[in-house]
Amino acid sequence: MDAAFEILLETDQYLVINKPAGVNVERLPQGFPSVEEMVENHMRGKGVKKPFAGIVHRLDRPVSGVLLIAKKKSALKLLNEQFRLRKIRKAYQALVYPAPAEDRGILHHWLVKDQKEKRSEAYPEPRGNAKEAFLEFERISISAAGEGLLKVIPSGGQFHQIRVQLAAAGWPILGDAKYGSIGAFKQDAIALHAILLAFEDPVSRREIIVTSLPGFLPGPSNLSLV
C-alpha cells in the first residue's frame, strides 16, 4: 500500500486505514487515486491473487480519517448491516471559520441533495423529499484568528451532512469553498477528519474502536476521541 495510506488495523476480514485527503474511496474512470485500488494493490503485495476491497462506507474525497474496508464479501455483508441499523459510532473533528459562540449544541436541518450540482442544501423546516438531519457539536478551542476546533457527531450519514449543516449554521469548514468557506487550506482538502469509528467485529462480535488524530491540529489538544 502507498506510504500515504496508514494502516490502523488489519484482520483477515477487514482493513482500517487513515485515509488521506484528496483520495477518492471508490475507483473512478477519471484517474483519481482511490482507496479501492490501493487496498487491492496492498493485498496483491501480500500474495492475494484475486483481492476483494468491499466499500463499507465513504468519506468525501477532500476529507481524511478513519475508513473501514471489507476484505471478504461475507464481512462486507455483516458490516453493511451494522451501518444500515445505525449500530456504528462515528465522530469527526473540524476546523471552522468563524467559530461558533456556543460551547456545544445540536444542529437540526432538513437536507436535500442536488444531484446535478453534487451538493446538499439545508433547510430549517421540512420540504418535498428533504431528509431530517441532526449534528451534535462541541467547541474544543478558538484560535487567535477566530477559527474554531470542533468535535462533531452526525446522526446517520447523509450526503455532505457535516459540511452543509455547519455551513448552514454560519460556520463553514476551512477550505470548503463548495459550502462558502473563504479560508485557505491544503490543496484538494478541507479541514474535516474522521477521528473515530466503532463497530462490531464480524467474527468475534467484540466492539472495535479505531481512532486517528488529524494532521491539522495546531498542537496538543484536549479533544476526546471516545
- Domain range 92-179, CATH architecture: 2-Layer Sandwich (3.30)
Is 114 assigned a catalytic role?
A: no
Domain boundaries, the chain: 6-88+197-211, 92-179
DSSP state of 169: T
DSSP state of 178: G
| Phi-psi category of residue 33: left, alpha or beta, with phi > 0 → left and psi -120 to 50 → alpha | beta
Comparing 6-88+197-211 with 92-179, is the CATH topology the same? yes
Which cell numbers hold the place of 138? 462541541
Distance CA(63)–CA(71), nearest Å, equals 22
What Å distances lie between residue 128 and 69, 77, 156, 160, 214, CA to CA? 34, 32, 20, 19, 37
Catalytic residue among 60, 176, 188, 201: 60
Q: What is the pLDDT along the chain (226 residues), one digit of tens a residue?
A: 444 679 999 999 999 999 999 999 998 877 778 999 999 999 999 999 999 999 999 999 999 999 999 999 999 999 999 999 989 999 999 999 999 999 999 999 999 999 888 999 999 999 989 999 999 999 999 999 999 999 999 997 899 999 999 999 999 999 999 999 998 899 999 999 999 999 999 999 999 999 999 877 654 444 445 5
> Under CATH, what is the fold of the domain 6-88+197-211?
Pseudouridine synthase (3.30.2350)
Distance CA(58)–CA(54), nearest Å, equals 11
